[in-house]
Amino acid sequence: MNKALFIRAISRFLAGLLLVSGLLFIPAGTWDYPQSWLLLGILFVPMFIAGLVMMKKNPELLKKRLNVREEKTEQRQVILFSGIMFLAAFISAGISFRYQWLMLPAPVSLLAVIVFLTAYALYAEVLRENTYLSRTVEVQENQKVIDTGLYGVVRHPMYMATVFLFLAMPLVLGSVISFAIMLLYIPIIIKRIRNEELVLAEGLPGYRKYMEKVKYRLIPFVW
């Protein structure tokens, strides 16, 4: 086991857990926010398990997933806007619970859990199919075009999974206001995809033909 990689991964995991917990429970003004505990469970338990699997079977992929330093201005903007969006969405969910502003009934949260876990499974399948999945937009050495499995349906199945993941989060939390904020992820990810495809079409052999073969970028029969 790569000790340095393990320490880096577990540190990032714990930092994320503490950050999200703080963004939810502090604005809520209480630990008694059941939907937050539910989200933390379905978000971080699978994340921890996935990290252990990657650590054992594909540490290089884990290393790529931990790298968030973007070189291009467009992608740095995407990261910035995404961060602001998440901060606003989680904080607003906590405040909404505290003052009971536009809170959704429990069955909606439970349905959102199903959507979230299904999207998580899709995300895991994408990681299995594509070992080149870096967190940053780049063309890697010896990278090849993946056109099978989910990549034969849409060009960016990972982003498709994240759309459902992120839109399900505020519904799990029961917050209409948080959901409205999280809808901003759609134009943000569209911006990222457009820039990423320019990079891949320019630097990855065979990607232009792949774009002709697989017409839809994000959602089948939609876009």
206, part of any domain? yes
The answer to whether residue 76 sits within a structural domain is yes
The position carrying tokens 């439970």 is 110
Residue 100 lies in a domain: yes
Q: Tens-of-pLDDT digits for all 223 residues of the chain?
A: 577 888 888 999 999 999 999 999 999 999 999 999 999 999 999 999 888 888 888 787 777 777 666 666 777 888 889 999 999 999 999 999 999 999 999 999 999 999 999 999 998 888 888 776 665 556 666 678 888 889 999 999 999 999 999 999 999 999 999 999 999 999 999 999 998 899 888 888 899 999 999 999 999 888 8
Provide the domain limits for residue 72.
3-213
Phi, psi of 177 (to 5 degrees): -65, -45
**Rg (Cα) of the chain, in Å, rounded?**
18
Structure tokens belonging to residue 5: 């990689």
- Indicate whether 219 belongs to any domain: no
Q: What is the pLDDT of residue 60?
A: 78
Written as six digits, the tokens of 184 are 């901003």
* 64 closest CA partner among 192, 158, 157, 184: 158
**pLDDT at residue number 140:** 64
User: Is 220 domain-assigned?
Assistant: no
The amino acid sitting at 52 is: L
Please report, for the domain that includes residue 28, its CATH number.
Answer: 1.20.120.1630
Q: Is residue 222 part of a domain?
A: no
pTM score, two decimals? 0.89
- What's the structural domain count of the chain? 1
Residue 106: per-residue pLDDT: 93
